[in-house]
Chains A and B, each alone.
Chain A
Amino acid sequence: MTRDEIKNEILGIFKDQFEIENPGLDDDLREVHEFDSIDAIELLGEIEIILSSELTRAEKKGAMEIRTINHILDYVESLSLARAKG
């Protein structure tokens, strides 16, 4: 998946699931949009669907400190790459 494709998926999830429309890519999601740890857990479920693969506990734990959309894109991209390398 390209970064743009991931971005479109993630922004769609933010709009539909979290009622957050057009967040800035570097907005602090917690500060600006009240995106909290429970949202993060819900997002992880959506990321598993995007990747068609379950995340490990360590991978999930790593996501809990994510703050911005760009961080999420980096995170998904790295997971996607890791899975592609197999």
Chain B
Amino acid sequence: MKKPETHLLCRYFKPVSDVIVTLLLWSYFTVGFVILFSPSYLAAYLFSENREISFQRLNHKFYKGFFYLARLLVFGHKWIISDDVRSIRSSIIVCNHISYLDPIFFVALFEKQKTIVKSTFFRVPIFGRMLKLSGYIPSTSGTNLSDLMLRHIEAMDDYLASGGNFFVFPEGTRSRDGTIGLINKGAFKIARLCKASIKVLFIRNTNKLFKPGKLLFNTCVSNTITVELIAIMEPDYQKSTFSISELMSEVRSILEAQRSNLVP
């Protein structure tokens, strides 16, 4: 297998570069959040007429800033996001999942966005509150979350109609080797509930920028991160033969075929 090309400047300094870039990006996440964004979140909390949308916009700006910084700092990585992905609105989006960066990358891509988040995160102080205020949906209803889930799912129709996107990584967890895992029904059930079309995206190589199981960003390697729109599904939910399992199986096949095309 061909070894990734290393930039000349980085060749001898990669370990140092990895540490410095990681520290800078984590600083943005922590200090940067407190200094640059917390006043805006507080203002949105106190004065916004629509907190949910305001929080989503702020999340979008915060993560956009994060990826802007990442592009500046991390040498060797190229980003290719097609226009048909950037222009997606009012859609349920499903995508393969290969890195912790994927969900926050989607928040950075779409100004109005909702997703499903692990229920345990909703119990984390401050962060959990921010998730609730942003209108994100807990993965299971459990104690104290059933009302939240009910409210958000019932309002999903209107949210999509207002231009919002609902994105889900139906595999649930990151794939360590890029293979497409078993997919969960959640996003498809919500699509049926809202009679919505489904946009299928394919993300590639975010796992080379931030490798699963590693603490540091992987700088100084040649890498191209892409996000493509690979299918638009418009199921006839009213049809008596409609089956969620078949729809899921079709989406999984599309993702699997896309992956197979990319594997040399």
| B190 near A61: Cβ-Cβ < 8 Å | no
Chain B CB within 8 A of A5 CB: no
A37-B141 in contact (CB<8A): yes
Q: Is B42 an interface residue (CB 8 A)?
A: no
- Asked whether, in the complex, the Cβ of B243 is within 8 Å of the Cβ of A39, the reply is no
A34–B140 contact, CB under 8 A?
no
- Given the known interface contacts A19-B243, A41-B193, A42-B193, the answer about A36 and B147 at a Cβ–Cβ threshold of 8 Å is no
Residue of B nearest to A40 (CB): B141
Q: How far, in whole Å, are A38 and B152 apart by their CA atoms in the complex?
A: 11
Within 8 A of B (CB), among A24-55: 34, 36-42, 45
Choose among A19, A34, A39, A41 the residue that contacts B150 (Cβ–Cβ < 8 A).
A41
Say whether, besides A42-B193, A64-B141, A37 and B149 are in contact (CB < 8 Å): yes
Contacts of B154 in A (CB 8 A): 41
Main SS at interface, chain B: helix
A42 touches B189 (CB 8 A): yes
Task: Report the interface size class on chain A.
Answer: 10 to 19
A19 to B192, CA, bound (A): 14
The answer to whether B245 and A38 touch across the interface, beta carbons within 8 angstroms, is no
Task: Say whether A36 contacts B140, CB under 8 Å.
Answer: yes
A74 interface contact, C-beta 8 A: no
> A21 near B: Cβ within 8 Å?
no
Question: Could you list which residues of chain B lie within 8 angstroms of chain A, going by C-beta atoms?
Answer: 140-141, 146-147, 149-150, 153-154, 185-186, 189-190, 192-193, 240, 243-245
